Amino acid sequence: MTYAPVTLSSAPLGWFDHRFYLLSDGTLAALRTDRDISAEHRRWLERAQKARFPRKMPNLWNGSSKLHVLTDQGESAPIEIPMVRYPEIDRFVDGRWLVVSTRAAAGEKNALILDADGRLSRSFHIGDGVEHVRCAPDGSIWIGYFDEGIFGNSIGCGGIVRFDDQGERLWSYNDGSRGSASFIDDCYALTLSGNDLWSCFYSDFPIVRLRDDKERRWGNDVGGAKALAVDGAYVLLAGGYGSDSRLTLVGLEQGSARTIGSYDRPELGDAALVQGRSSLLHVVNNGVWTRISVAEARSELQ
């Protein structure tokens, strides 16, 4: 199936689009702030790089923030949410929100669960170095961590960790007792297809499916992919070493992922969002939301 591109509404006067998030039901959320955090960060970085002595980054996270849900038909009325540092966001199937600060000190409660209207329900520690946040249909929370979390004496040492909505840790990938063939040094790509979790991670970039906490693994020659989508025995990988705008289709065979072909999608290169969910890859670039299906990629390459 081919989806028509959707032109997204611009932020209202006095507000700025900070981040876009792909939600568990395949809709988008736009996080808007009352200060242009990205521009302020760029200005600080330019000055810091020219300075003789290191300059401490100012606190950019003390303004107001609102979430808008975006669909093909338009956007919802916003809800106010707490401002956190470097936020990652998803929504549970029952309408509650999960808002995570990706950087956290030891013991800091950096995961917030909000009611559908944005009111805080509970908070708990979910570790430092968060790269991916996904809410599964069964109510569990999957977190993928980048290297500073994995090697930083944090919960993130698990690489990929599953929690319940009370913050209890249920499962961890980098658990030596499992005897896994791989170790996650940096979780590059992570998606859900139903309750099945799929990932591709540094350093050997296998394609891994976790079903009922049991692993199936395919060797893979595509290094550095930042997102993936899955349809049966086919996986679409976005980006990779050498090209951020490349899409590569692989077929899952006995123990290996066979590369079928690749092609270029320029809108991936400087996109505000590239993320997979089930069989669709979602891209937001210059205010346009594009969805690329694994089936569409197969028609391009086969």
Which domains, from first to last, does the chain contain?
190-302 (2.20.25)
Q: One-letter amino acid identity for 268? A: L
* Spatial distance between the Cα atoms of 146 and 156, rounded to a whole number of angstroms: 8
For residue 176, give the 3-state DSSP assignment.
helix
Q: What are phi and psi of 231, to 5 degrees?
A: -140, 100
Q: How confident is the model at residue 154 (pLDDT cuts 50, 70, 90)?
A: confident
DSSP-derived secondary structure for 48-108: HHHSSS--PPP----S-EEEEEEETTEEPPPEEE---SSEEEEE-TTS-EEEEES---TT-
Nearest to 292 by CA among 278, 302, 181, 28: 278
Give the tokens for residue 106: 């030891």
Residue 147 has pLDDT above 90, yes or no: yes
* Spatial distance between the Cα atoms of 258 and 275, rounded to a whole number of angstroms: 22
Nearest to 200 by CA among 241, 163, 141: 241
Q: How confident is the model at residue 1 (pLDDT cuts 50, 70, 90)?
A: low
Residue pLDDT, tens place only, 244-302: 999 999 999 999 999 999 999 999 999 999 999 999 999 999 999 999 999 999 999 97
* Spatial distance between the Cα atoms of 168 and 85, rounded to a whole number of angstroms: 22
Residue with tokens 């499916």: 209
- H or E element: which one contains 295? helix 294-301
Residue 302's pLDDT is 76
Mean pLDDT of 54-62: 86
Q: List beta partners, residue 131.
A: none
Mean pLDDT of 145-159: 95
pLDDT averaged over every residue in the chain: 95
Are the beta carbons of 158 and 175 closer than 8 angstroms?
yes
Q: How confident is the model at residue 178 (pLDDT cuts 50, 70, 90)?
A: low
Of 44-58, 133-147, 172-186, which one has max mean pLDDT?
A: 133-147
Nearest to 149 by CA among 163, 133, 134, 130: 130
80: left (phi over 0), alpha (psi -120 to 50) or beta: beta
Q: One-letter amino acid identity for 75? A: E
Nearest to 262 by CA among 235, 231, 286: 235
For residue 41, give the 3-state DSSP assignment.
helix
Please tell me the pTM assigned to this model.
0.95
Residue 177 has pLDDT above 90, yes or no: no
- H or E element: which one contains 148? helix 147-150
Are the beta carbons of 250 and 260 closer than 8 angstroms?
yes
Residue 57's pLDDT is 86
Kindly state the greatest CA–CA separation across the chain. 56
CA angle 100, 271, 245 (to 5 degrees): 125
